[in-house]
Structure 1
């Protein structure tokens, strides 16, 4: 992935610890101790913005900035230093003649020493992963310079884009042997940090449903948060369908540079929806006639920073958003074909190893492949297995799936009412109360006690009617000790409810207060 490593012109959030590290680094330089700091992290995580904000506080420090570019066809000598201010670059690049390395290193070192006698100096190099070898040699010379001068070297490094043969691996290993060198890894924001950033971007506190959705997609990457939230109106509760074009381009930039057979393999993995072993992926690739030796293709994708090899030997995308964007780019027929191939794989595995999370994966793939009968059967079986293992969240999702498929399935072996009861039980166990409960709870002021019963008033919002007679009566019964009179429209109580909340009883031991949280 390649894009500007910045989250916008807003104040940084969630970076107090890293800013403290940089503040201590600059203070050490002020005191006359040479230091080197490598700030590493994923693309878009905010490395450049972090360094810029820390340097802005050093008003008494001379800041010299350089940056590299991702040139593919040629290498420009000293590219990482050419964009530095003229005071530093002019002695090196005043003519078209290539300056020999010893002369370049000595000239820059002498200039830094002269300036450092008057003021502290920080040399900031952005995107170290693209710096040419000549610039790397000069930077190594500077980092190994006199330890008692007021000079600091700060470099930002994008992780996940260096192949095994990249010269920077050796350079970093040698650099870290030097005294005064430190590596600072910048992680993605956590959910509170994402919420704070969205508040800045949107101009008001975001709704929790929006924060949850964006954080699920972005994983806390500040640049992804920025792109996902662009164009959202204040008060938006959810994202629009699809992903913005800028986000798709940013996420897939490095992926597009992979060979075609590697891209095809990663598309299959994206449809799989979960980390799987190389052997399983090889089986799927064989069913779909994907060309190439799968282990070599996986190695190529891993070296490019697209996939990660997990400790358990499985492969998954370095950032899950890559999988989402890849799957959205496939046609419906392609997705169904590969989902069907995963069904064959998991059916074969379940014969030897029944149960486990493979059953849930199989139910998902049958559903996405459009096989209603098998999707219903596996959803019920997966719900049973998840409930036995205490995974109420998975059980709830599978049961909700089964309810949605019940009318379409041929000869379902379970009554719909029984499914609704199980959904309700697992929902309480998992603590998953749908947003509609909150809307209904907000309607409670529109209901008033009349003697020993409750009576509906006109709240003017229409939400009471939307709640449905069963659900509102159920909610009132759980939030009051008074009996609840049936609203006029509850004469239709003999019809089948469309929401699990419609059933009028709750599992034993469940408090009424749980429904109003």
Structure 2
């Protein structure tokens, strides 16, 4: 790779207009990318390869070739990796004037993370959606090229957001190009271009161009082989070796040492500079934003003059114009790493002194910390304040870094214990469990009183719980809760609930769960009105110690408290809240509560939590038989999981396939879920899988298999889904002539449902009692139909009609049976429950009625892709393109692109026509 010396002005300082040797294929990739963006498409490319191989030069080529495009650029800086959103701010700074055009929540998110306003921490993916909207809006005026070089040094928050944005681009005139040594996990799955060394012929040409004098052919071949055609290594080689060494081939190193060899070559040449020039380079290496005012201000602090002479002395390495930029990133790292600790501290101190404490307090604090070799309370306090701001901006990793350094610089032992707990807490939230554990141990060793020891134990217990479901976590959390009681009873109660939840999720937990429940019951009454979390804890503890009848009144109060929109603090316990609504058999409260949580998560862009809330909502809506809405939720769960890279068990998809009666699809999901959940001790997953199997096989009339699945499910100690499986067990046992099992299950179902008094509970109980009853079955079936008819649980109502019809037919009351079976059949067909519909059709035929084997018809949108269908349904329900984009984490332009394809496939021309060609849905866009 050779470069001419013609310069052009760019958005980030002076750069060189490059002529690339031997890179025709790579240039063609960039040319095609830019051509596609010019036509309104989006492109993403991750350019990766070893240091010195030419990635940066190719990125500069892309910028030069992007004639007429807007160019946004950013460079990762190693010393800035702990500052959340630092690189994102670099990239988006030229677009900040457009923030007013963003929807309110998105604008607030970006203003918060960029320090323009104070506010609560925005979710990482809401920030991503805001950046996506910002880039999409900007590209409507001119196509946009975003270049992020040295992505291996981009802060984690920025990299996660940029990876999210890159995966959501589709129909925008935007290209994003990353230059990186090795692809980080945040960029996996994106289009990539690996840059390797030059071909031998090109490498020989480049070597010849920088070699003064002839080289023996064998020596030249060896040089090319050992450098593996690395362009920078070939260019730097003459600077690192004498003429005789070159001629003799001495002193060459293996290719795997090239980065170090190139850096040493740089340092050899830099060492010839004057001491002030070297110190100026160090200041520039320590200053991450490339601000010449800061660099020269720090230089003045250290007495580096005259400016003109210094600038001339470093111009081979550093551009000091409108933006400070190193000619090659390895120069920055070489200069910084090779400097003495004394010089590095001096450079950081000078930079801290010239950094505005009002405009950039966090970077100033970081410079001060880097300049400090021993404990210093003033620096530690400043870091502590910066950690609060980093947390407010959503930078959990940055907050953890500030708090870790804060704790290390704290001299007072008691205060170090407090700050180490805070560091462990932030580090746990950032996901670095090993480091969090170390700081928890530091906190315990430094603790000066019992409360500090307790707080250290609590965070250690939470770290163990976060590390995975295991038998160790519940007793540790219980002990932490007990030790907290004398100091903070509210926190103690919350910790008891965490311990209870940890025990409830484990496959073998009955002893721990009872112990925790008994300890919670023994707590003194809370002064004042109970909080939602207090009621949840009391109800859950009663559920284990006294049974459902005793727990039901408290659980109903807890559910009412959780349903209050002002109970935001309780929404942390969504899984418990959903369990409570199941325990009290209140299907409407279940949909309202979980639906509100989902809407809040969508509005906040909380993609990390959203799949779990969507799973609860999908299960809740599946009870209503609205498979269209449930399908939309399944698609959204998959979209969100794809965006975050975090998989989730397919509980909703499994439930849906079982209700539909699609044996092959359902059995595959059941087997996979059972295996994965069983291997990881996820009791809930195993229970859901067996519950789905019981539903599937009852629909198919394979009662022995349904009985086996339901027995496994109900014999588990899980507290929620196993109860839902009891009606399946009763039906399967009756049909398999196992009345003893049916009667025992009915007793369990009675204890679980009777105390609630809801139509759902009593309707299912009446239907199940009718199956077992010898006398009075008809009245019970009629009661079940009446009660379930007052709910929105259409599948349960249809099954009541089916069972009543089957009972009537067996009693030779064919006319009445036909009426019930026909109702059941029509309901099953309209819902989409194929297996149960076929079962009802078979019963109808047995009554002598002639009925065709109706296939459940596909909707008009069957030919649509899952995402197209999802968008079409949301448009039909009245959502605008921006609203859909916010929900699905797409830009409005991408939504419009999908919608045009929907119109073409359905042969319609307007949004209004979607209501005529798509099936009705009561829950597609807004939970009830």
Band the TM-score falls in, shorter-chain normalisation: 0.3 to 0.5
How high is the TM-score relative to the length of structure 1? Answer: 0.39
Q: Which has the higher strand share?
A: 1
How high is the TM-score relative to the length of structure 2? Answer: 0.23
Q: Which has the higher helix share?
A: 2
Structure having greater relative contact order (Cα 8 Å, sep ≥ 6):
1
